[in-house]
């Protein structure tokens, strides 16, 4: 019994200590995992579901860093959203349940980003947790933008971005990830462009948020690096 309790504590400590590293891996695999699969049909129908569950689990683990007095409320919210999305995976993809799932997923990701932001600005020394949490925050902005565009497709039709492949949902996801990554990194190839007014505004917002995040995170990194070296 004692050994089992000790093992459980070690597992919990491992996840708590490495929660942001796990989240970064989950985000990279969810956003860019198609790079390792030639058969996009197989990837879209099976692997992406595993990716989504992995991302939910990794995001939930990141909430272990919540303050104890807020942990109970956080657990309830995360458990509700996790259960809702997992349940809606089994509903008809052509029904309105898909829109509910996408919206709840978007809320879940925004809560995760908010939790990471609170960690980044909290008193904390410069270490690997700070580095990986900042990377996770950047990837979460891309993930949120992608989910925003996908929700926009559902609500307003496909005339949102040009040159996006809508023949298969995974192709649409990959093109949207590519567009959001190119936009937030200010590369701007121009092969995919926003068409509708809302798409233009969402693209503008993504660019502003991405640049603002980089400026703020660099300031936080430098400040905490200097503070840690002065101690």
Q: What is the pLDDT of residue 230?
A: 67
Q: How many CB atoms lie within 10 A of CB 220?
A: 16
Q: Yes or no: say if 26 and 54 are a contact pair by the CB < 8 Å rule.
A: yes
Q: What is the pLDDT of residue 39?
A: 93
Domain around 46: 2-230
In the structure encoding, which two tokens stand for residue 120, read together?
């980044």
Q: What is the pLDDT of residue 125?
A: 74
* CATH code, domain with 99: 1.10.287.70
The total number of structural domains that make up the chain: 1
pTM of the model: 0.88
Q: What is the pLDDT of residue 147?
A: 93
pLDDT of the chain, 231 residues: tens digit per residue: 445 557 777 887 888 888 999 999 999 999 999 999 989 999 988 898 889 889 988 888 887 765 555 556 666 766 777 677 666 666 655 566 777 777 888 888 898 898 899 888 887 778 888 899 999 999 999 999 999 999 899 888 878 999 999 999 899 999 999 999 999 998 888 899 999 999 999 999 999 999 999 999 998 888 887 877 665
Q: What is the pLDDT of residue 195?
A: 93
């Amino acid at each position: 019994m004692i050994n089992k309790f000790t093992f459980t504590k070690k597992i919990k400590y491992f996840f708590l200590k490495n929660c942001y590293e796990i989240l970064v891996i989950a985000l990279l695999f969810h956003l860019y995992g198609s790079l390792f699969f030639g058969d996009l049909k197989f990837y879209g129908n099976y692997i992406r579901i595993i990716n989504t569950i992995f991302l939910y689990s990794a995001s939930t683990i990141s909430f272990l860093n919540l303050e104890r007095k807020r942990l109970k409320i956080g657990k309830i919210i995360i458990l509700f959203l996790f259960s809702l999305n997992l349940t809606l995976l089994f509903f008809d993809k052509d029904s309105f349940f898909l829109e509910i799932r996408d919206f709840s997923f978007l809320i879940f990701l925004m809560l995760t980003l908010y939790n990471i932001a609170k960690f980044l600005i909290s008193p904390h020394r410069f270490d690997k947790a700070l580095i990986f949490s900042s990377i996770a925050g950047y990837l979460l902005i891309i993930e949120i933008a992608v989910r925003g565009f996908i929700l926009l497709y559902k609500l307003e039709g496909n005339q949102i971005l040009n040159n996006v492949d809508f023949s298969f949902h995974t192709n649409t996801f990959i093109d949207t990830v590519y567009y959001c990554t190119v936009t937030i990194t200010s590369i701007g190839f121009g092969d995919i462009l926003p068409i509708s007014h809302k798409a233009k505004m969402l693209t503008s917002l993504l660019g502003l948020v991405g640049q603002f995040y980089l400026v703020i995170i660099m300031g936080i990194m430098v400040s905490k690096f200097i503070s840690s070296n002065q101690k």
